[in-house]
Structure 1
Amino acid sequence: MDWVGAILGLLALVSVLQAWLSKSKNKKKRLPPGPRGFPLIGNLHMLGKLPHRDLHRLAQKHGDIMYLRLGLAPVVVASSPQAAELFLKTHDLVFASRPPLQAGEHMSYGQRNLSFGAYGSYWRAIRKMCTLELLSSHKINSFKPMRKEELALLTKVIQEAARDHVTVDLSGKVASLSADMSCLMVFGKKYMDKEFDERGFKAVIQEAMHLAATPNFGDFIPFIAPLDLQGLTQRMKGVSKVFDAFFEKIIDEHIQSTDQERTKDFVDVMLGFMGSEESEYRIERSNIKAIILDMLTGSMDTAATAIEWTLSELIKHPRVMKKIQKELENVVGMEREVEESDLEKLEYLDMVVKETMRLHPVAPLLLPHAAIEDCNVNGFHIPRKSRVMINIFAIGRDPSIWTDAEKFIPERFHGSNIDFRGRDFQFIPFGSGRRGCPGMQLGITVVQLVVAQLVHCFDWELPNNMLPSELDMTEEFGLIVPRAKHLLAVPTYRLQQQ
């Protein structure tokens, strides 16, 4: 394997030369402050299993606009509301693109989806299509009966467990509910695991999310990408092959379908634009498959993780649980289950969900932005092609903004106009600007509805006489950051028996 050592030695030399040339080129330009790095790897060694926490600690030392080098890639991290506003509003257009990533190339059909796609005319067209055709208020409302039916099925299963005083895997149940809802919206039907892959539908989605989040040496040191030293490319190609075969089957089923009366799902809508010369979207099969994957990953894990963390915080804080149940008793009553029309009246529920997303943002670093051109931000030179990370985990814990920032206090949002829409940069769980999440309204609706139903219909206790304060709140690494351990709890049915 001497040739490997020779190649790596040569690459290290190239890295040093490139870094020196870059430094010489920018010596008259003021880069943001940041930690010193090593040749070739830069600051990669400083990031562990939970990068959002590592970057938060580094920012406390180096500042809210911080410069690092991950391999050969220049990276800027914004860790305050003021810094986030500069990148996502003041200079939004400059940072509206995405960097080229192996995950996007191999698993998103050459970055043809909404999440990873480079900024340009194609991306603007599919963004418009997703916003107006797939995620409009009208389309979201058309699936309201489905959400009610699926949630009723879950409630019935948990009610049976409550009758026998059986421990429920809440993380697993919520994940299955979210997967079923996503499949019904995107595909029009639920699919059994065996119809997808022997590992199961949820497992392969999680594998894709994990691969997309894993720091890939090939992304940061492009010269070594063909070597696939971590084996990530091979795994990405394997996952992509599974998805592609499944999506081909889905598209063929929709093309051959003769049922004209069913509610049109997302695939139906996109097929209506395929091959049409009159459509401004002009999408083909590969585009549809890329967007299908986007819709699945964007709706399944994100909603499930937000629900999981909210229920965890409620169980850990009985005072808050009792308060939200009291509101539900007053608004909904004890004779029926929660309806979506109740949500706008549940002010404390809104505070609870906001506080959870402040403490546990589903995607704590959002997705990386890329500088389209050189830019001066707050007096700092940001070179073209720099990657920009917005650390909303750090922003949510900034003590200069949030009193008792590490504590779960929903009342901090009482009387506040702060919302989810990306206008208040101290609270941007869905991002902001051109790259803000278009599925925000759908996501919030699902999270609030499921949480309201599960805490209205049931009291929850931890198993084995565990105290609420003993609940493990450790995170698990990923593009989406869920609990490391599943949330297990014992339900007791609360509503009056019909």
Structure 2
Amino acid sequence: MSMVAQLTHRGLAQLAKQYGGLMHLRMGLHDMVVVSTPDMAREVLQGQDSVFANRSSSFVATYLSYNRADMSFANYGPFWRQMRKICVMKLFSRKRVETWDSVGDEINKMVQAVATKTGSPTDLSKVASSLTSHITYKAAFGTNSREGEEGQFETILQEFSKLFAEFNVADFIPWLSWIYTKDLKRRLVNVRGALDVFIDKLIDEHLAKKSNKNSKDENEAAATDMVDELVSFLDEGADHENIKSTDSLSTFKLNRDNIKGLIMDIMIGGTETVASVIEWAMTELMKNPEELKKVQEELSNVVGLCRRVQDSDLENLTYLKCTLKETLRLHPPIPLVFHETAKDTMLAGYLIPARWSVVINTWAIGRDKTAWDEPNAFKPSRFLEPGAKDFKGNDFEFIPFGSGRRSCPGMQLGFYVLEKCVAELVHCFTWELHGGMKGSEIDMSDNFGLTTPKAIPLVVVPSYRLECAL
């Protein structure tokens, strides 16, 4: 237990240098296997994907996910597969992403807000966090939310995120829980109670809206939000114990806890993760001004200085894509991905018993010196080389969104928001560090939690650079 402080992406990476890419830790009564190399990750996520497809869950995660009623923490099986289908086919389909006007609308508001701060210090962590929370909120709940509701939900979301990152000794020594978890349990009950009140109200409003519509034309159908999609599966008494692999999505039902759990998956997965990468991308560009110049030159050549970036431009912004891939390599949205063995298995000649936690250190894998030249250097040009790695899950040297069955279903949307946001920030503005700071002086430390945001927010001074008005 004296090693608890080392249970971070950086601490585990340091231990892996001494003990290897497959490492066993015994923390109290809890057994954990840590994977820190591409070869070991390939065996876990591809070679034995089904064996390692369960998700280990802490006391906090189990409680906040309504006893694993969501997709993120549900164990692999028929129920999880149906939940995954809902996410892929209904919530994150290409058609739905194209109808999310909230992305473009909120990025426009962000650009206008930054423009008002021309010449003034601007905290980019707040800019990114506000942008992503507004996008996901409106995509989930619709654009007609009442004033004040969004801020209320952001407060709930922030407390959820803090609790997910909270260390709990009861996860390692259960019989100590009565000493340690009194305050933790109070916070858990309070925040889940607040979420119940908030989302129950929204579900009831969406049900009322649904009952008032006898028919929908195509335009109305396209305008539905995530809760509209989810309530179409609602059955208050749904029980998932007897789901069979042959059951179809058309007969699958969700209870309220499932809907609440999925909404939290979406909100947490779509806000802090993307916001932290946006800030890291801008940080790396400020630290490496020659790379910022290359990205801006590409934007000037492809888009020009007389208009804003459009979606059709994105496919031609090759160096921007390389810059974002390099950011994801060095700063993956979720640095530690937790799995659990479904049964006893052999891995690299070692017996891994059932129900052991398996932690994939994506942060360490992205900096593996056997897989990457100058692994700690920010070099976007490495992704221009023939055979360059991609992040879609087939190259195990680069898995910021995971791989296999448990890979992130919102990867497409997340990268689109990241790409569009950074493109607009870099294209519309020139940037200087506050107080005459040099790029080499930027503090690159991070805070460990569910995500790894910068420990010290990036404060910069923007100046509008385009020849056209906003």
TM-score by length of structure 1 reads 0.86
Listed as ranges, the matches of 1:63-78 within 5 Å are 63-78=20-35
* Inter-partner Cα distance in structure 2 for 1:467 and 1:230: 46
Query: Contact 2:307 / 2:468 at 8 angstroms: preserved in 1?
Result: no
Alignment of 1:285-304 (within 5 A): 285-304=256-275
Q: Gaps spanning 5+ residues in structure 1: where?
A: 1-43
Counterpart residue number, 2:51 = 94
8 Å Cα contact 1:332/1:342 also seen in 2: yes
> Contact 1:362–1:481 (CA<8 Å) still a contact in 2?
yes
- In 2, Cα distance between the equivalents of 1:181 and 1:285? 23
- Read off the aligned partner of 2:90 and give its amino acid letter: E
Which of 142, 165, 176 is the aligned partner of 1:213?
A: 165
Code of the residue aligned with 1:57 in structure 2: it is Q
The match for 1:253 is 205
Q: Please give the per-residue CA displacement for 1:18-50, whole angstroms capped at 9, x wherever unaligned.
A: xxxxxxxxxxxxxxxxxxxxxxxxxx3213276
Candidates 344, 367, 371, aligned match of 1:397? 367
Superposition map of 1:305-316 within 5 A = 305-316=276-287
| Post-superposition offset of 1:463 | 1.0
Task: Please give the alpha-carbon distance, in whole angstroms, between the structure 2 residues aligned to 1:492 and 1:151.
Answer: 17
Deviation at 1:190, TM superposition (A): 7.0
Matched, 1:45 2:2: yes
How far the C-alpha of 1:191 sits from its partner, in A, is 5.3
Q: Are the structure 2 counterparts of residues 308 and 321 from structure 1 closer, same or farther at C-alpha, using a change threshold of 3 Å? A: same
The answer as to 2:340 corresponding to 1:384 is: no
Tell me if 1:129 matches 2:86. Answer: yes
Equivalent residue number for residue 84 of structure 1: 41
| Letter in structure 1 aligned against 2:123 | D
How far apart, in 1, do the equivalents of 2:388 and 2:142 lie? Answer: 37
Asked if 1:275 corresponds to 2:235, the answer is: yes
Aligned residue for 1:404, secondary structure, equals coil
CA displacement at 1:233 relative to structure 2: 2.5
**Structure 1 segment 121-270 matched on structure 2, within 5 A:** 121-143=78-100, 145-162=101-118, 165-189=119-143, 194-195=148-149, 200-229=152-181, 231-257=183-209, 258=212, 261=220, 263-270=223-230
Q: Which amino acid aligns with 1:208?
A: F
Residue aligned with 1:264, SS: coil
One-letter identity of the residue aligned with 1:146 = S
Q: Which has the larger displacement, 297-306 or 249-258?
A: 249-258
**Alpha-carbon contact 1:273-1:283 (below 8 Å) kept:** yes
Instruction: Give the whole-Å Cα distance in 1 for the aligned partners of 2:235 and 2:3.
Output: 48
Shift of 1:106: 1.5
* Structure 1 residues 127 and 64: CA distance shift in structure 2, 3 A: same
Tell me, yes or no, if the aligned pair for 1:183 and 1:190 is still in contact at 8 Å.
no
- CA shift digits 1:312-342 (9 cap, x unpaired): 1111111000000001111111111111221
Q: Which whole-Å CA distance do the structure 2 matches of 1:91 and 1:234 have between them? A: 39
CA offsets, 1:359-407, max 9 Å, x none?
11121112x1011110001101101111000011111111111111111
Aligned equivalents of 1:271, 1:230: Cα separation in 2: 35
Q: Does the residue aligned with 1:106 lie in a helix, a strand or coil?
A: helix
Shift of 1:473: 1.5
**What percent of counterpart residues are identical?**
40
- Identify the residue that residue 458 of structure 1 maps to in structure 2: 429
Determine the C-alpha separation between the residues in 2 that align with 1:312 and 1:83: 31
**Residue 371, structure 1, aligned to residue 341, structure 2:** yes
1:339-378 equivalences in 2 (<5 Å):
339-366=310-337, 368-378=338-348
**For the Cα contact (< 8 Å) 2:362–2:399, is it kept in 1?**
yes
Distance in structure 1 (CA, Å) of the matches to 2:439 and 2:364: 26
CA shift in 2, pair 1:50/1:450, >3 Å: farther
Q: Distance in 2 between matches of 1:80 and 1:230?
A: 38
Partners in 2 of 1:420 and 1:95 — Cα distance? 20
Tell me by how many angstroms 1:487 deviates: 1.4
Residue 487 of structure 1 is matched in structure 2 by 458
Distance 2:252 2:388 in 1: 36
SS of residue paired to 1:254: helix
Q: Which amino acid aligns with 2:29?
A: L
Q: Distance in 2 between matches of 1:73 and 1:95?
A: 17
SS at match of 2:116: helix
- Bigger drift between 257-266 and 267-276 goes to 257-266
2:449 equivalent to 1:478: yes
Deviation at 1:149, TM superposition (A): 1.6
Is the contact made by 1:126 and 1:281 (CA closer than 8 Å) also made in structure 2?
Answer: no
Q: After superposition, what is the alpha-carbon deviation per residue over 1:253-275, rounded to whole angstroms, capped at 9, x for unaligned? A: 21222576371111000111213
Aligned residues: 449
Offset from partner CA, 1:400-430 (integer Å, 9 cap, x none): 1111111111111113442111100000000
- Please tell me whether the aligned partners of residues 117 and 123 of structure 1 are also in contact (alpha carbons under 8 angstroms): yes
Q: Secondary structure at the match of 1:75?
A: strand
- 2 CA distance for matches of 1:96 and 1:399? 27
| Residue aligned with 2:142, SS | coil
* Aligned amino acid, residue 291 of structure 2: V
Amino acid at match of 2:14: R
Alpha-carbon shift at residue 246 of structure 1 (Å): 0.8
Identify unmatched segments of 5+ residues in structure 2.
Answer: 239-248
Of 390, 394, 399, 1:419 maps to 390
Cα separation, 2, equivalents of 1:317 and 1:131: 37
Q: Distance in 1 between matches of 2:147 and 2:336?
A: 31
SS at 1:231 equivalent? helix
Secondary structure of the residue that 2:102 maps to in structure 1? helix
Going from structure 1 to structure 2, the CA distance change for 1:72 and 1:300 (only over 3 Å counts) comes to same
- The one-letter code of the counterpart of 1:377 is L
Tell me which residue corresponds to 1:29.
none
Q: TM-score if structure 2 supplies the norm length?
A: 0.91
